[in-house]
Amino acid sequence: MPEECSCCGQKTEPEPGFYYKAMYCTYIIWVTIFVMNFLVLGLWLDLSPFSFISLYTIQLIILLPFIFRYARVIHIYISVKYDKNAIYKHPNKVMRSSTHKPID
Ligand SMILES: [Zn+2]
Protein backbone atom coordinates (compact mmCIF):
# COMPACT_ATOMS: atom_id res chain seq x y z
CA MET A 1 0.00 0.00 0.00
CA PRO A 2 1.39 3.46 -0.83
CA GLU A 3 2.12 5.74 2.14
CA GLU A 4 -0.08 8.53 0.79
CA CYS A 5 -2.64 9.19 -1.92
CA SER A 6 -0.96 10.36 -5.13
CA CYS A 7 -3.76 12.87 -5.84
CA CYS A 8 -4.43 14.62 -2.55
CA GLY A 9 -1.56 13.54 -0.29
CA GLN A 10 -3.82 11.96 2.35
CA LYS A 11 -1.74 9.55 4.44
CA THR A 12 -3.10 6.02 4.16
CA GLU A 13 -2.02 5.26 7.74
CA PRO A 14 -2.64 8.49 9.72
CA GLU A 15 -1.35 7.02 13.00
CA PRO A 16 0.45 3.83 14.10
CA GLY A 17 -2.00 0.96 14.53
CA PHE A 18 -4.69 2.85 12.62
CA TYR A 19 -6.02 -0.28 10.93
CA TYR A 20 -6.50 -2.27 14.13
CA LYS A 21 -9.87 -0.57 14.29
CA ALA A 22 -10.67 -1.99 10.85
CA MET A 23 -11.03 -5.36 12.58
CA TYR A 24 -14.43 -4.19 13.82
CA CYS A 25 -15.47 -3.53 10.22
CA THR A 26 -14.20 -6.99 9.29
CA TYR A 27 -16.24 -8.49 12.11
CA ILE A 28 -19.40 -6.69 10.97
CA ILE A 29 -18.90 -7.89 7.37
CA TRP A 30 -18.33 -11.48 8.51
CA VAL A 31 -21.42 -11.45 10.73
CA THR A 32 -23.48 -10.01 7.85
CA ILE A 33 -22.28 -12.81 5.55
CA PHE A 34 -23.05 -15.36 8.25
CA VAL A 35 -26.59 -14.06 8.76
CA MET A 36 -27.24 -14.02 5.00
CA ASN A 37 -25.89 -17.58 4.74
CA PHE A 38 -28.00 -18.68 7.67
CA LEU A 39 -31.14 -17.24 6.10
CA VAL A 40 -30.50 -18.71 2.64
CA LEU A 41 -28.64 -21.96 3.32
CA GLY A 42 -29.94 -22.80 6.78
CA LEU A 43 -33.56 -21.73 6.69
CA TRP A 44 -34.52 -21.52 3.02
CA LEU A 45 -32.52 -24.46 1.54
CA ASP A 46 -32.56 -26.38 4.85
CA LEU A 47 -28.97 -27.67 4.57
CA SER A 48 -27.43 -29.80 7.31
CA PRO A 49 -25.19 -28.00 9.83
CA PHE A 50 -22.08 -29.68 8.36
CA SER A 51 -22.93 -28.50 4.83
CA PHE A 52 -23.79 -25.04 6.10
CA ILE A 53 -20.50 -24.64 7.98
CA SER A 54 -18.52 -26.09 5.06
CA LEU A 55 -20.04 -23.67 2.53
CA TYR A 56 -19.64 -20.76 4.94
CA THR A 57 -15.97 -21.60 5.52
CA ILE A 58 -15.29 -21.91 1.79
CA GLN A 59 -16.95 -18.53 1.20
CA LEU A 60 -14.86 -16.87 3.90
CA ILE A 61 -11.62 -18.31 2.55
CA ILE A 62 -12.44 -17.02 -0.94
CA LEU A 63 -13.65 -13.61 0.28
CA LEU A 64 -10.95 -13.08 2.92
CA PRO A 65 -8.66 -10.76 0.87
CA PHE A 66 -11.61 -8.68 -0.30
CA ILE A 67 -13.09 -8.45 3.19
CA PHE A 68 -9.81 -7.21 4.66
CA ARG A 69 -9.38 -4.60 1.93
CA TYR A 70 -12.93 -3.31 2.09
CA ALA A 71 -12.87 -3.22 5.89
CA ARG A 72 -9.86 -0.88 5.65
CA VAL A 73 -11.61 1.22 3.02
CA ILE A 74 -14.75 1.50 5.17
CA HIS A 75 -12.65 2.39 8.21
CA ILE A 76 -10.71 5.18 6.47
CA TYR A 77 -13.95 6.55 4.98
CA ILE A 78 -15.42 6.75 8.48
CA SER A 79 -12.28 8.13 10.17
CA VAL A 80 -10.87 10.69 7.71
CA LYS A 81 -12.83 13.87 7.15
CA TYR A 82 -13.48 14.66 3.48
CA ASP A 83 -11.70 17.78 2.21
CA LYS A 84 -12.95 18.83 -1.23
CA ASN A 85 -9.94 21.11 -1.81
CA ALA A 86 -7.27 18.68 -0.61
CA ILE A 87 -6.13 18.01 -4.15
CA TYR A 88 -5.11 21.68 -4.53
CA LYS A 89 -3.21 21.73 -1.24
CA HIS A 90 -1.05 18.76 -2.32
CA PRO A 91 2.37 19.89 -3.63
CA ASN A 92 2.38 17.53 -6.64
CA LYS A 93 -1.11 18.48 -7.93
CA VAL A 94 -1.23 15.47 -10.25
CA MET A 95 -4.89 15.76 -11.24
CA ARG A 96 -4.87 19.42 -12.30
CA SER A 97 -7.04 19.89 -15.39
CA SER A 98 -10.04 21.86 -16.58
CA THR A 99 -12.43 19.43 -14.85
CA HIS A 100 -10.68 19.77 -11.46
CA LYS A 101 -11.05 23.34 -10.24
CA PRO A 102 -10.95 24.51 -6.63
CA ILE A 103 -14.32 24.58 -4.94
CA ASP A 104 -15.03 27.86 -3.13
ZN1 LIG B 1 -6.67 11.20 -2.45
Question: What distance in angstroms lies between residue 28's CA and the mean position of ligand 1's atoms?
Answer: 26
* Distance of CA 83 from the midpoint of ligand 1 (Å): 10
pLDDT of residue 99: 54
Confidence tier at 15 by pLDDT (50, 70, 90): confident
Mean pLDDT of the chain: 85
Distance 96 CA to ligand 1 centre (A): 13
Distance (Å) from CA 63 to ligand 1 centroid: 26
DSSP per residue, the chain: --SB-TTT--BSSSSTTGGGGHHHHHHHHHHHHHHHHIIIIIIIS---HHHHHHHHHHHHHHHHHHHHHHHHHHHHHHHSPP-TTHHHHSSS-TT-BTTB----
Per-residue model confidence as pLDDT tens digits over 52-67: 999 999 999 999 999 9
Report the share of the chain in percent with pLDDT over 70.
88
Total-model pTM: 0.69
